[in-house]
Each structure stands twice: as structure tokens, then as C-alpha cells.
Amino acid sequence: TELLVKCIVCRKWSALSCDDELWRKLFEDRWGADATAFYAPEPEGSKPWKDVFVVQDRCDRYGLGVRIIREGNDYYLIYQGEIQSYLGTSCDAKDAQPQGAQADKRQISDRILFFLGDLETAYADAKRVEA
């Protein structure tokens, strides 16, 4: 949001952008009082409202499933709005050596495959517990 960009302007804006009550109010204005009560950090103060807001915003944009998102040149794997894993970075073709870019892509795809393997293992374990 615009507030996140403004927090880098000066120390005062930065301090204001971390105010927990401000983020709780922004959350309530956007998603309503019922959602605010439901998503309130438990126990009180365990997680800042700013983080709760960011996660809910990601859920709105990307859904609840597993997604790979790009922010700038960085790639992240998210699940239910929470960043689960940093996958790596991509470089602009003009700035990178071809071999380095290929290694970066391979590293990102390897991390995705390892994460998916971990997910499949966890899913199989959960199915055994349910049965």
C-alpha cells in the first residue's frame, strides 16, 4: 500500500508506519469488525497487526493455495498468504552473465521442487493420521 512506501521517507514516517493500532484500524476499515475480531493476533501482541494486514492482503491477491510470486527480482513461495520460502532472485539479461542467469534459474527451480517434495511428504503424513 501507499503507507508502506511512505515509511521509508523519514524516521517519523517510519515510526508511524509501525504503529500497531494504526494497522488494526486499517485492517478493520478494509475487512470489517468481524474479520478484525477473527484475525486478531492471539495471544495479544504475539504478532503485529501490520503482519496480519500484509498476510490478509496477500490472501486477497493470490488466494489461499500455494503460489509463487515475484516482488521486484525476488521470487517467494507463499501458502495461505504467508511467505514460506525465499526461492531466489532473477537478474536482468543485460546485467547478468548467461551462465550465471542459468544457475539462478536452476537454483530457483531446485528450491521449488524441494519445497513441493516437502509438501507431498507432509500431505502423505497427514493422510495417514486421518485414516
Which residue ranges make up each domain of the chain?
14-62, 67-130
Contacts with 8 (C-beta within 8 Å, 6 or more apart), sequence order? 14
Mean predicted lDDT score pLDDT of the chain: 75
The band of 26, judged by pLDDT with boundaries at 50, 70 and 90, is very high
Predicted model pTM? 0.56
| Range 80-102 average pLDDT | 65
Give the whole-angstrom CA distance, residue 114 versus residue 81: 20
CA atoms within 13 A on the CB side of 11: 0
Query: Given a cut of 60, is residue 92 above it in pLDDT?
Result: no
Write out pLDDT tens, residues 60-79. 887 777 777 777 778 887 88
Please spell the DSSP secondary structure of 85-115, one letter per residue.
Answer: EEEEE---TTTS-HHHHHHHHHHHHHHHHHH
Q: What whole-number distance in Å separates Cα of residue 118 and Cα of residue 114?
A: 6
